[in-house]
């Protein structure tokens, strides 16, 4: 039985229905759920498993395999900074260290101010290294000052 009092579960059920309960669409279903709710709540996993007629282990396996899916809500501002070779050649490691220091947080965690800083391997902007993405917006030739301004703007 689905817990229909939990809005996250009803959201998951709606999305599964819109994909005709096709288990091959599981990744797309999880994307849409995360786009809507901000994360994949543990409570939604049994519901998705039941609706797609697959095991909970299979759903858990997919959610935990892919880097995109978060198990907890992120901060108000999500900054993804590329750590791949091309961006490293233009100082990405230093940039990440400075931004993390400025917001007093570590890669992969959320600061008290609500800034989540994450690593990503390649955004496809390798001729404009270092590259970053802030709440879905791409930034080429990222600098500490530029990112900081954009973060402050997005927080307010």
Partner 1 sequence: MIRIWIPADTAALAAGADETAAAFEEAAQARGVEIDIARNGSRGMLWLEPLVEAGMNHDRIAFGPVRAADAASVLDAILDGKEHPLGHGRTVEMPWLAHQERLTFARVGVIDPLDLADYEAHAGLTGLRKALTMEPAAICAEVLESGLRGRGGAGFPAGIKWKTVLDQKAERKYVACNADEGDSGTFADRMLMEGDPLLMVEAMTIAGIATGATEGYIYIRSEYPRAIAQMKAAIAVMEGAGWLGENIQGSGHSFRMKVRRGAGAYICGEESSMLQSIEGKRGTVRVKPPIPAISGLFGQPTVINNVLTLASVPLIIDRGAAFYKNYGVGRSHGTQPFQLAGNIKRGGLVEKAFGITIRELIEGFGGGTASGRPFRTAQIGGPLGAYVSEDMLDLPMDYEAMATHQAMVGHGGVVVFDDTVDMAEMARFAFEFCEEESCGKCTPCRIGAIRGKETVEKILRGENVAKNIALIDDLCELMRDGSLCAMGGLTPMPVLSAIRLFPEDFDRATPVAAE
Whether 87 has a binding-site annotation, put simply, is yes
CB 66, CB 34: distance < 8 Å: no
Residue 58, judged by CB atoms within 10 A of its CB (0-12, 13-18, 19+), counts as middle
User: Nearer to partner 1 by C-beta: 18 or 89?
Assistant: 89
41 half-sphere exposure, CB direction, 13 A CA radius: 13
95/138 Cα distance (integer angstroms): 16
- Establish if 143 lies at the interface with partner 1 (CB under 8 A): no
Task: Tally the C-alpha atoms within 13 A of residue 31's C-alpha that lie toward its C-beta.
Answer: 6
Of 7 and 61, CB closest to partner 1: 61
Pairwise CA distance, residues 143 & 94, whole Å: 10
| Among positions 1, 5, 67, 112, the unique one binding partner 1 when judged by CB under 8 A | 67
Tokens of 43: 């409570």
Work out whether 58 is an interface residue with partner 1 (CB under 8 A): yes
When binding is defined by CB under 8 A, the residue of 6, 25, 37, 144 that contacts partner 1 is 25
Give the range of 4-12, 103-111, 119-127, 148-156 binding partner 1 by CB under 8 A: 119-127
Residue numbering of the annotated binding site: 82, 87, 122, 126
Provide the binding-site residues for partner 1, judged by CB under 8 A. 22-28, 30-31, 58, 61-62, 65-69, 82, 84-90, 120-129, 131, 133, 136, 138-141
């Amino acid at each position: 039985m689905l817990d229909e009092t939990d809005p996250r579960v009803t959201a998951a059920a709606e999305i599964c229905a819109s994909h005709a309960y096709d288990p091959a669409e599981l990744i797309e279903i999880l994307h849409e759920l995360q786009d809507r709710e901000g994360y994949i709540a543990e409570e939604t996993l049994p519901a998705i498993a039941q609706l797609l007629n697959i095991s909970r282990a299979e759903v858990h396996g997919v959610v935990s395999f892919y880097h995109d899916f978060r198990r907890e809500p992120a901060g108000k501002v999500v900054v993804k900074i590329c750590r791949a070779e091309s961006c490293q050649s233009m100082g990405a490691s230093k940039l990440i260290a400075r931004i993390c220091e400025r917001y007093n947080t570590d890669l992969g965690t959320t600061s008290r101010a609500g800034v989540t800083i994450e690593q990503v391997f390649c955004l496809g902007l390798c001729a404009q290294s270092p590259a970053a993405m802030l709440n879905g917006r791409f930034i080429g030739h990222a600098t500490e000052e530029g990112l900081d301004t954009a973060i402050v703007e997005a927080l307010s």
